[in-house]
Amino acid sequence: MSKKLSGFPEWLPAQERVRQELIATIRRAFELHGYAPLTTRSVEPLSALLSKGGDTDKEIYVVKRLSDPPEKPADLGLHFDLTVPFARFVSENRGKLSFPFRRYQIQPAWRGERPQMGRYREFLQADIDVIGSENLHVRHDGEIVRLLAHTVALLPIPRVRLGVNNRKVLEGAYRALGVEDIVATLRAVDKIDKAGRDKVAEMLSTQGLDAAQVDGVLSLTEPDALSRSFDHPMYREGRAELDTVLAACDDVEGVVADLRIARGLDYYTGTVMEGVFPDHPECSTVCSGGRYDNLAGGKARLPGVGASIGVTRIMGYLDHLGLLPERPGSTAQVLVAVHSDDTRGSSEAVARSLRARGIAALVCHKAWGYGKQIGWADKNGIPYVWMPARDGGAHEVKDVRAGSQTPADPSSWRPSEG
Amino acid sequence: MSKKLSGFPEWLPAQERVRQELIATIRRAFELHGYAPLTTRSVEPLSALLSKGGDTDKEIYVVKRLSDPPEKPADLGLHFDLTVPFARFVSENRGKLSFPFRRYQIQPAWRGERPQMGRYREFLQADIDVIGSENLHVRHDGEIVRLLAHTVALLPIPRVRLGVNNRKVLEGAYRALGVEDIVATLRAVDKIDKAGRDKVAEMLSTQGLDAAQVDGVLSLTEPDALSRSFDHPMYREGRAELDTVLAACDDVEGVVADLRIARGLDYYTGTVMEGVFPDHPECSTVCSGGRYDNLAGGKARLPGVGASIGVTRIMGYLDHLGLLPERPGSTAQVLVAVHSDDTRGSSEAVARSLRARGIAALVCHKAWGYGKQIGWADKNGIPYVWMPARDGGAHEVKDVRAGSQTPADPSSWRPSEG
């Protein structure tokens, strides 16, 4: 990673190829499932960003023209997530869209937060959402969880554990226990990983819960929490939804019920999900999402469910885990060697023939001795070197890593890998 | 196009698919030729942007945290092109790169200019450059012109005419004619399309050129300009380079010599190129580039040659020319119909089978009558509807546009298109 400006990571070419592969794999998975691409502008009116909770914990970057007078207040800001622009886009173009509307969106977002591992000031998110008009069946919650789990399983990253919960399960259980301040209780329970069970019990008591209520609330953080049942209509509704979502994913590895997951208290209303690397507890959430009642907040309800994959965060973790390549990485699979400047034309012809069949090829820039050209290929991570035919002989191709060299035909040869 | 904020265009899903296709095609062409991907951060220090000619004609957007005190001057700005961040990246990472370094970069840039057709405040550029260390053979100029012409020819856009010139040809010819103020002369000649030949002749006279000099300068704007020759070493050097570049492209359609092209007077030093839609003269340049002496301006010389495709500008022209789809466009190729909610599972199984073979599929969200499900597919631009087998019968697939319906096997059927 090249990080000369804190919070704005950049990657060397070989690492950027990994990032591009993540993006391409995510895009392909989303498109295979019928999600349409969307790219919104990077800026939104500052007022819209502020009304969506910006600048409390999502520090906004404002944008203005350098030539504007200094006293003119900024009226634009960079979006801090992809949900605000998506909601605005759907509101503006509602009549041109067909519901349920499935879209994916892979774009940067910006937050002026203090940078740390996994938290950046400029970061790429890959979002999917399904939006209904007035209604959206809970089946789509299962669709999103399933697609998210399927997609992250395709990525060259550590194993992901995707925990699923339903906000109604927690709220219904709390209500069944007679707890009144649901949000305060959720906030306290959300701290259990960091603060520990005893500390949370103490917080709940301070909030006025009696011993039975504290026990009941904490029982929901146990691994066997789903074996308990609570007598409240909201609990039963939430359990039914959660069971539907889990059933939709019963053949997908890594999806588990986890009643400890709360997430986005002010936004999500039903299903919530959160993916982590269980083998690397020092890494935070890599993907998350949930169900919300109304995307755009307008009179016409647009209920939806969505998820987001933190691409930059994943790159940061891969870097932290030593899983990113460090050496230069050309995209070329073949370096076509040049015997002499007089025969460069025949090397060019070989390269064109290979490219015509989808094999990325580069002609060496210097007619060095072959050993030096092979060295240049190796230094640039190019796996094959092509030696064009000379004096009626055959073309030959060298596998740089294996060291083997074999005759080859430019119109039919293929690299053994991919 | 959805354009609620002037200069920040957004596209409906079917149009966005066209934009994604442009990007994917460009990316594939660049990678096939061994260009490595690079993505830089969106912001640069304001001082760096200003020193690279920002805010004279490239109005800079400054970026600051909303929580910063208002009197604190902004120290960051959004990049106005991809060259400034690329130069900075190469300077910072020089020791980790291998030269000649080929990279492509597809990213937005921002300029606070007055929006008009083809000019936006947020616009996507696709850049390629080859950078040498100390030296870079003119052969690479041919490589860039050739790759640019090849790439734009792959795009679903009107025919592109790629004009090529060499700044040394003009400067050498002007010097041979005894003209002293080269830049003023270039600036006057650059206006010939808009102002006309007589007006430019008048401007040149005012600048102190005599009649023979004016005739000589204007002769270079004629179609037969290359048939003339000028006795100056810089002219001969430029002609040799131009001839090399043209020879490298002699089998590429659309590449033509055009001595009227000047471009980037303060930046390019040799080859210059500029692509337009010759059949649509109301559209401006869609791609351009050239050779420069020193990318990063440091002590160690980094000569380079590059080109840039204006993706957003091309989208704007396609929109203007009525070449963008207007209807919704799902990415799904197949809508799998649902007979009843009880049999939804078998529809899901068909969709998974299709996706496993790379065919994008969606299961209908409602168990409507088949006619209504077919109508929903049509409305969403999905070309096929799959009717899963029932009661021991066969699966059938309907071609929505053709109206035909045939038996099909989910493990082997393929759409007839793409």
**Residue boundaries of the structural domains of chain B:** 13-320, 334-407
Beta-bridge mates of residue B291: B305
**Cβ atoms of residues A23 and A126 within 8 Å:** yes
Q: Which of A46-55, A156-165, B37-46, B335-344 shows the lowest mean pLDDT across its residues? A: A46-55
Pairing state of beta strands A384-387 and A334-336? Answer: parallel
Residue A356 is encoded by which pair of tokens? 């015509």
Domain B13-320 has CATH 3.40.50.300: no
What ranges make up the beta strands (E) of B283-413?
A: 287-292, 304-310, 334-336, 361-363, 384-387, 396-399, 405-407
Fold: same for A13-160+277-320 and A334-407: no
Q: Kindly report the nearest CA distance between residue B121 and chain A, in angstroms.
A: 10
B120 lies within 8 A of chain A by CB = no
CA torsion angle B185 B186 B189 B193 (round to 10):
-160
pLDDT tens readout for residues A236-284:
999 999 999 999 999 999 999 999 998 766 789 999 999 999 999 999 9
Task: List chain B residues with CB under 8 Å of A360.
Answer: 31-34
Interchain proximity B13–A38, CB inside 8 Å: yes
Give the model's confidence band at B400: pLDDT under 50 very low, under 70 low, under 90 confident, else very high.
very high
pLDDT tens readout for residues A70-125:
778 889 999 999 999 999 999 999 998 999 999 999 999 999 989 998 899 999 99
Residue A174 is encoded by which pair of tokens? 């709390």
Pairing state of beta strands B334-336 and B361-363? Answer: parallel
**Residue B20: pLDDT over 80:** yes
Interchain proximity B5–A41, CB inside 8 Å: yes
Interchain proximity B65–A112, CB inside 8 Å: yes
pLDDT tens readout for residues A272-328:
999 999 999 999 999 999 999 988 877 889 999 999 999 999 999 999 999 998 766
Interchain proximity A5–B361, CB inside 8 Å: no
Interchain proximity B43–A5, CB inside 8 Å: yes
Beta-bridge mates of residue B107: B125
B345 lies within 8 A of chain A by CB = no
Mutate to test the interface with A, among B365, B374, B380, B384 (most CBs of A within 10 A): B365
Q: Kindly report the nearest CA distance between residue A252 and chain B, in angstroms.
A: 13
What does the alpha-carbon distance between residue B328 and residue B317 come to, in Å, rounded to a whole number? Answer: 20
B65 lies within 8 A of chain A by CB = yes
Identify the closest residue of chain A to B333 by CA–CA distance: A34
What does the alpha-carbon distance between residue B27 and residue B124 come to, in Å, rounded to a whole number? Answer: 13
Interchain proximity B62–A66, CB inside 8 Å: yes
B247 lies within 8 A of chain A by CB = no
**Cβ atoms of residues A360 and B34 within 8 Å:** yes
B78 lies within 8 A of chain A by CB = yes
pLDDT tens readout for residues A189-228:
988 888 999 999 999 999 999 999 999 999 999 989 999 9
B72 lies within 8 A of chain A by CB = no
Interchain proximity B331–A37, CB inside 8 Å: yes
Q: Kindly report the nearest CA distance between residue A407 and chain B, in angstroms.
A: 23
Interchain proximity B122–A41, CB inside 8 Å: yes
Identify the closest residue of chain A to B46 by CA–CA distance: A66
Nearest to A362 among B10, B34, B361 (CB): B34
Give the model's confidence band at B52: pLDDT under 50 very low, under 70 low, under 90 confident, else very high.
confident
Strand order in the sheet with B361-363: B361-363, B334-336, B384-387, B396-399, B405-407
CA torsion angle A284 A290 A293 A298 (round to 10):
60
Q: DSSP for A7-36?
A: T--B--HHHHHHHHHHHHHHHHHHHHTTPE
Per DSSP, A174 falls in state H
Beta-bridge mates of residue A287: A275, A309
Nearest to A13 among B4, B13, B103 (CB): B103
What ranges make up the beta strands (E) of A258-416?
A: 268-276, 287-292, 304-310, 334-336, 361-363, 384-387, 396-399, 405-407
**Single pTM value for the model:** 0.95
> In terms of Cα–Cα distance, which of A344, A351, A356 is closest to A384?
A351
What is the reported pLDDT for A31?
97
Identify the closest residue of chain B to A7 by CA–CA distance: B41
User: What share of chain A has pLDDT > 90, as a percent?
Assistant: 84
Identify the closest residue of chain B to A247 by CA–CA distance: B345
Q: Kindly report the nearest CA distance between residue B28 and chain A, in angstroms.
A: 9
SS3 B83: helix
A35 lies within 8 A of chain B by CB = yes
* Contacts of residue A74, Cβ cutoff 8 Å, sequence gap at least 6: A46, A62, A63, A64, B66
Mutate to test the interface with A, among B3, B57, B98 (most CBs of A within 10 A): B98
What does the alpha-carbon distance between residue A334 and residue A396 come to, in Å, rounded to a whole number? Answer: 12
Task: List chain B residues with CB under 8 Å of A35.
Answer: 331
Give the B window 379-398 contacts with A, CB below 8 Å: 379-380, 382
pLDDT tens readout for residues A25-71:
999 999 999 999 999 999 999 999 998 876 666 799 999 999 888 77
Kindly report the backbone phi and psi dihedral angles of residue B416, in degrees, each rounded to the nearest multiple of 5, phi listed first.
-70, -30
A92 lies within 8 A of chain B by CB = yes
Q: Which of A4-13, B51-60, B343-352 shows the lowest mean pLDDT across its residues? A: B51-60
Task: List chain A residues with CB under 8 Å of B328.
Answer: 36, 96-98
Give the B window 354-373 contacts with A, CB below 8 Å: 355, 358-362, 365
Give the model's confidence band at A161: pLDDT under 50 very low, under 70 low, under 90 confident, else very high.
very high
Interchain proximity B36–A19, CB inside 8 Å: no
AA identity, residue A184 = A
**Alpha helices, DSSP H only, in A253-330?**
311-320
SS3 A2: strand
What's the topology of domain B334-407?
Answer: Rossmann fold (3.40.50)
Beta-bridge mates of residue B274: B163, B288
What does the alpha-carbon distance between residue B280 and residue B295 come to, in Å, rounded to a whole number? Answer: 33
> In terms of Cα–Cα distance, which of B366, B356, B353, B364 is closest to B330?
B364
Convert A220-255 to b/e letters by CB count within 10 Å (16 or more is b): beeeebbeeebebebbbbbbebbebbbebbeebebb
What does the alpha-carbon distance between residue B103 and residue A11 come to, in Å, rounded to a whole number? Answer: 13
Interchain proximity A102–B19, CB inside 8 Å: no
Task: List chain A residues with CB under 8 Å of B380.
Answer: 98
> In terms of Cα–Cα distance, which of A85, A134, A135, A127 is closest to A102?
A127
Interchain proximity B332–A34, CB inside 8 Å: yes
pLDDT tens readout for residues B184-234:
999 999 888 889 999 999 999 999 999 999 999 999 999 899 999 999 999
What does the alpha-carbon distance between residue B281 and residue B271 come to, in Å, rounded to a whole number? Answer: 23
Mutate to test the interface with B, among A33, A76, A312, A333 (most CBs of B within 10 A): A33
What is the reported pLDDT for A418?
44
Rg of chain B over Cα atoms, rounded to whole angstroms, equals: 27
What is the reported pLDDT for A60?
94
State mean pLDDT over B323-340: 90
What does the alpha-carbon distance between residue A129 and residue B25 come to, in Å, rounded to a whole number? Answer: 26
| C-alpha distance from residue B179 to each of B159, B171, B236, B240 (Å) | 37, 9, 17, 22
SS3 A208: coil
Interchain proximity B67–A89, CB inside 8 Å: no
Question: Which secondary-structure segment (H or E) carries A44?
Answer: strand A43-45
**Cβ atoms of residues A313 and A284 within 8 Å:** yes
Q: Kindly report the nearest CA distance between residue B36 and chain A, in angstroms.
A: 5
Q: DSSP for B196-220?
A: -HHHHHHHHHHTT--HHHHHHHHHT
| C-alpha distance from residue B62 to each of A85, A237, A403, B115 (Å) | 21, 49, 53, 18
Identify the closest residue of chain A to B94 by CA–CA distance: A12
A229 lies within 8 A of chain B by CB = no
| Other residues' Cβ atoms within 10 Å of the Cβ of residue A121 | 23
What is the reported pLDDT for B69?
83
A89 lies within 8 A of chain B by CB = yes
Nearest to A31 among B45, B108, B331 (CB): B331
Domain A13-160+277-320 has CATH 3.30.930.10: yes
Mean pLDDT of chain B: 93
A32 lies within 8 A of chain B by CB = yes
Task: List chain B residues with CB under 8 Å of A13.
Answer: 36-38, 97, 103
Mutate to test the interface with B, among A56, A65, A72, A362 (most CBs of B within 10 A): A65
Interchain proximity B98–A328, CB inside 8 Å: yes
